[in-house]
Chains A and B, each alone.
Chain A
């Protein structure tokens, strides 16, 4: 069947993919059938988990914990603690480090990104340093940080800062560059000076990209923290993971992983909320 040549009004949607949702990322739970199938899928997975471990014993405790063992480890972690502290203490320890590193990275990275975006001179001058250092994955800084600062918190914060710094700078820079030139012209023809231009046009215009950078920074912060604590630490969820591994305690490993995952999701949600509050003006 040949496609119609003349676009008839109201049939324009034949030329776009029939499912506009496709353009977004993998959608999380929608409504109706999708929700139902998803829930069933997760439920099925849970059943499988139970069957494989408790029910039939195919998967021995050595390999993967059963739901009951998971529960047991969780209880233990919450009440008695593990590797030096109860769940809340360990979790807070790690979260604190993430927030510190993330905050410092944002406070240093976003202004730098603004500077590089606004001033071609600054960009030309600072770009080489960036290009040289960027290819080195943040995790690769961990050994060096430990050599410099030992196994304590300082090394962790340093590496987290570094991991979160780069996405903040780059995305802020991209955001600034991406501000519609016409808007800048409009501001100038109405008499805006450089400061007003920066604060009332460029920064608001770059906000969406800045937040993308913040999201990536937060993600990188968590990944780096877990890695750093796994390599060597005195406290924290990574340390719990490490200790559980050495003790050959799979239930505890699983518990720690889940806690890390939940904390990561929770902090990301907070960030999204902040974004929604700050960017009211989007269609």
Chain B
């Protein structure tokens, strides 16, 4: 397993990138595939640009994105607000852990998207539906990582706080929370990714606005260029979220150390 010198690595990376787009473009314009099956990279970008001004399926692309992000924010926020404290509490109090864990483990096996029918039944196409599905997807990592983080906090530190007279709540807020922060942030990162995925999935199935909705409508209209523009948007946002959270994770690790 030889090492690669930087120049060679750079050249191959460049070659790989160009090759990817070249093959894509080549396949798109060639006669190999039926017309209108695979739009070229240029066509996708052009369509994406077009959608920022021209509405499709009721709104422009930015408006759809805003709708999606709104739902994402609510679902993810809810999952974090419920999952993190609960995870910390479970880490701290064994009884709570024993009560909640079996239920949690059971429910976890249900894929988040399997909740869509119930979500749709209960909330219609309102915002509650996607939020519920996102919650189902985003909740487990928040809980698990907060739990793990709390468990790994040195018991001596918790005992020191107890000896000094801190209440259970204060211990959670001022000892467990900071101590588990690296683990929690890692969990948030994973959770955000799952939340974004669950959102798109939910919007594919039942929604009246949003990126997922755009893609499904475009699919019905057999407009692959719009579908791919939607995929591009989804990918870009997902990547941005991931990068932002990774940065945060690195910052937290640098200040507080590894979980």
Contact = CB atoms under 8 A, between A and B. Distances in A.
A and B touch in their complex, CB below 8 angstroms: yes
Nearest to B122: A63
A192 interface: no
A231 B216 contact: yes
> Which of A33, A38, A127, A258 is the most central at the interface, judged by chain B CB atoms within 10 Å of its CB?
A38
A64 B119 CA distance: 11
Given A19-B151, A139-B197, A223 B111 contact: yes
Interface in A7-64: 14, 17-19, 22-23, 25-29, 33-34, 37-42, 45, 62-64
Interface residues of A, number: 70
Contact of A128 (B20, B91, B100, B231): B20
A63 B231 CA distance: 34
Contacts of B205: 227, 230-231
Contacts of A26: 101, 104-105, 144, 147
B31 interface: no
A253 B98 contact: no
A45 to B, nearest CB: 6
A140 B115 CA distance: 18
Interface stretch (A82-90, A166-174, A260-268, A275-283): A260-268
Contacts of B110: 257-258, 260-261
A139 B15 contact: no
Contacts of A119: 1
A137 B238 contact: yes
B134 interface: no
Contacts of A138: 197
B13 A124 contact: yes
Contacts of B4: 120-121, 124
Interface in A125-153: 125-129, 132, 135-144, 146-148
A144 B227 contact: yes
Contacts of A144: 215, 219, 224, 227-228, 231
B118 interface: yes
Contacts of A41: 98-100, 102-103
Contact of A139 (B153, B201, B242): B201
B122 to A, nearest CB: 6
A205 interface: no
B81 interface: no
B16 A125 contact: yes
Interface stretch (A69-77, A100-108, A237-245): A237-245
A137 B112 CA distance: 14
B3 interface: yes
B204 interface: yes
Contacts of A63: 121-122
Contact of A29 (B15, B102, B197, B228): B102
A257 B102 contact: no
A270 interface: no
A135 B235 contact: yes
A248 interface: yes
Contacts of A128: 13, 16-17, 20
Interface of A: 3, 14, 17-19, 22-23, 25-29, 33-34, 37-42, 45, 62-64, 118-121, 124-129, 132, 135-144, 146-148, 184, 222-223, 226-227, 230-231, 241-242, 244-245, 248, 250, 253, 256-258, 260-262, 264-265
Which 10 pairs from chain A and chain B are nearest by CB?
A: A22-B151, A124-B12, A143-B219, A245-B117, A37-B98, A38-B102, A135-B235, A120-B4, A128-B17, A135-B239
Given A38-B98, A124-B13, A245-B120, 8 more contacts: A17-B152, A22-B151, A34-B98, A42-B106, A120-B9, A124-B8, A143-B230, A147-B222
22 contacts: A17-B151, A18-B155, A22-B152, A28-B105, A38-B98, A38-B101, A128-B16, A137-B234, A140-B231, A143-B216, A144-B215, A226-B111, A226-B114, A227-B111, A227-B205, A231-B204, A241-B116, A253-B117, A253-B121, A257-B118, A260-B110, A260-B111
